[in-house]
Amino acid sequence: MKSPLMILAAAILSATVPATSGRAQPPDGKADRPNVVVIFCDDMGYGDLGCFGQTRYATPNLDRMAAEGARFTDFYVSSAVCSASRAALLTGAYHERVGIQGALGPKTKVGLSHDETTMAEMFKSAGYATGMAGKWHLGYRPSQAPVHHGFDEFLGLPYSGDMWPHHPERPEGYPKLPLIEGDQPAIADVTAEIQKTLTSRFADRAVDFIKRHKDEPFFFYLAPNMPHVPLFVRDENAGRSGAGLYGDVIREIDDAVGAILSTLRAEGLDERTLVVFTSDNGPWLSYGDHGGSAGPLREGKGTSYEGGVRVPFVARWPGKVPAGLVQRQPAATIDLLPTFAAMIGGHPPALPIDGLDVRPLLFGEPDARSPHEALFFYYGDGELQAMRSGPWKLLFPHATRTMNGQAPGGGGVPGKYRPLAVGLELYDLDADLGETHNLAADRPEVVAQLQGMADSMRARLGDRLTKADGPEIRPAATAAD
């Protein structure tokens, strides 16, 4: 039994011993809430990293990050194109649900609705500092900028780096490309010389943000506009990979990851920060040597085959995410927002979303299973093109594109896709990762089971291919002018 003196001594000690960190305590007492850094590349393919099988060039920082954390082999985006994919990441909902399709251009009035709760708003309402650097692509008007969707600060591009007056095929189609700070142009006309600096400029902002907010919980979203064409690296990094400009670009992204991880280590934040790294869609294959690799997967960006929608995913949080974990259960970008919300005790969005808490997968809990009965892949103007359930991938009849048999692009100029008619196609991804052997005729019972799940989704989010309305679709924002 403790004596009154011991109890008094303990009370004095607990009142006077300083906390081990200067971090402000959140009002609800959740002292161990992690910081979160999300790194979301543009058009990086499934096979572009050493830890996902790339051998032509090195990605030492990402490989180390995977060795110290987790690698998800079956991680998906919502759609194989930029804006749609970003809308899904940031809302935790299929892009189709929040009304954002395709890749928004400089002339559109469409942007992410302010009725949606973004990942940044979820963190912000939980008391986090929030920042972003890189490509936004969810509305380019000032009122549609990230700083009006929950980010305290933003440095980046409003849309893709090829939507500029130097486009290799449509130079007359685009206005000057601005670099935005907050919601206003910091540089009105991004030149090629400035493009060369963007990857490191955005990484520098991430490092600076982490240092400024080391004493409070923070969320940073780094969205490099690379390796989306046009490709650029700093002059001193040209030729560094030994594998052409594309390899040089990936090395520079790898450097950015290394800079963030070393900053976290130097600031003593390693064990209280979750870092995740992934991509918005598969490689842009028509660009040949300026496009990435889908590795063993079929097709790439702009298709709903695995090469379009399955992306590399690496997560690191020492002490929480087991080192060397290889997670083969399916998960998706839509799961990150609800997972983070559960992790920090934040409020999930009030409006319905599609993502689910995947902490058991991330933390490597024994026998953890994907919480999704199925994942669905909409593309274009509301077409439900494909779905994944267990080992099964089902594609519905639709028109897509392929580079098979076509002359490849090169040097930053794309080759020409040819149309490809997709039939009703069923693949067993456990046995046939490359989607080469259509089992639809052999396994009608599997097709029927998955069709039933698809019909349930069609009743909610519609489907242009089967002319189903989507009563649960929410409208995007449209600027007034």
Identity of the residue, 292 or 349, whose beta carbon is nearer to Mg ion in the bound complex:
292
Which window, 81-89, 241-249, 372-380, 426-434, contacts Mg ion (CB under 5 A)? 81-89
- Nearest Cα residue to 400 out of 306, 292, 290: 306
Kindly determine how many residues on this chain lie close enough to bind Mg ion according to the rule CB under 5 A. 5
227: its two tokens: 């390796």
The residue whose Cβ lies closest to Mg ion is 82
Our answer to whether residue 137 is catalytic in this structure is yes
Our measurement of the distance from residue 77's CA atom to the centroid of its chain's CA atoms, rounded to an integer in Å, reads: 7
Q: Take residue 266 and report the two structure tokens written for it.
A: 């130097």
Compare residues 108 and 281 and give the one whose CB is closer to Mg ion.
281
* CB closer to Mg ion out of 85 and 117: 85
Of these residues, 82, 213, 372, 398, which one is catalytic? 82
Chain center to CA of 458: 25
Calpha distance 477→268 (Å, rounded): 41
**CB of 82: closest distance to Mg ion in angstroms?**
4
Distance CA 392, CA 396 (A): 13
Tell the smallest beta-carbon distance from residue 228 to Mg ion (Å).
5
Sole window of 77-85, 200-208, 388-396, 401-409 interacting with Mg ion (rule: CB under 5 A): 77-85
- Strands 418-422 and 398-402, bridge-based pairing: antiparallel
In terms of CB distance, is 33 or 137 closer to Mg ion? 137
Minimum separation from the CB atom of position 67 to Mg ion (A): 27
Q: Determine the Cα–Cα distance for residues 300 and 297; give it in Å rounded to an integer.
A: 8
In angstroms, give the least distance from the CB of 391 to Mg ion: 27
Name the helix (H) or strand (E) containing 64. Answer: helix 60-68
Q: Which stretch binds Mg ion (CB under 5 A): 42-50, 209-217, 308-316, 466-474?
A: 42-50
Please identify, among the stretches 36-44, 47-55, 170-178, 231-239, the one whose residues bind Mg ion according to the rule CB under 5 A: 36-44
Query: Per DSSP, what are the bridge partners of residue 400?
Result: 420
The residues that bridge with 392 in the sheet, in sequence order, are 389, 428
Beta bridge partners of residue 326, listed in sequence order: 71
Smallest distance from the beta carbon of 280 to Mg ion, in angstroms?
Answer: 4
Spatial separation of the C-alpha atoms in residues 108 and 141, rounded to whole Å: 9
Q: Which of residues 129-148 bind Mg ion (CB under 5 A)?
A: none
Active site residue 82: yes
Q: Which of 95, 98, 97 is nearest to 85 (CA)?
A: 95
Stretch that binds Mg ion, among 75-83, 145-153, 180-188, 242-250 (CB under 5 A): 75-83
* CA atoms of 236 and 109, how far apart (whole Å): 39
The one-letter code for the residue type at 29 is G
User: Which one, 42 or 63, has the nearer CB to Mg ion?
Assistant: 42
The least distance separating Mg ion from the CB of residue 376, rounded to whole angstroms, comes to 19
Both tokens assigned to 354: 């599609």
Instruction: Determine the interface stretch with Mg ion among 39-47, 234-242, 350-358, 410-418 (rule: CB under 5 A).
Output: 39-47
Smaller CB distance to Mg ion: residue 283 or 470? 283
Return the exposure string of 212-250: e unless at least 16 CB atoms fall within 10 Å of the residue's CB, then b.
Answer: ebbeebbbbbbbbbbbbbbbbbbeebeebbebebbbbbb
Select which of 41, 51, 114, 137 is catalytic: 137
Hey, what are 255's tokens? 């450097």
d(C-alpha 344, C-alpha 31), whole Å: 10
Work out the angle at residue 321's Cα, subtended by the Cα atoms of residues 69 and 87, and round it to the nearest 5 degrees.
85
Contact between 42 and Mg ion per CB under 5 A: yes
Shorter beta-carbon distance to Mg ion: residue 82 or 210: 82
Sign of CA dihedral 82, 182, 260, 315: negative
Binding range to Mg ion, per CB under 5 A, among 41-49, 253-261, 400-408, 469-477: 41-49
Q: Which is nearer to Mg ion, 131 or 302 (CB)?
A: 302
Q: How far is the CB of 84 from Mg ion (least distance, A)?
A: 9
- State the minimum distance, in angstroms, from the CB of residue 389 to Mg ion: 25
Q: Which is nearer to Mg ion, 255 or 280 (CB)?
A: 280
x/- string (CB under 5 A) for Mg ion, residues 395-424? Answer: ------------------------------
Chain positions 228 to 287 lying near Mg ion, rule: CB under 5 A, are 280-281
- Give just the sign of the alpha carbon dihedral 244, 246, 251, 256: positive
Check: CB of residue 166 under 8 Å from CB of residue 142. Answer: no
Q: Positive or negative CA dihedral for 55, 286, 230, 259?
A: negative
| Of the candidate residues 37, 38, 43, 286, the single one contacting Mg ion (CB under 5 A) | 43
1: exposed, middle or buried (Cβ count in 10 Å: 0-12, 13-18, 19+): exposed
Residues engaged in binding Mg ion (CB under 5 A): 42-43, 82, 280-281
Residues recognised as catalytic = 82, 137
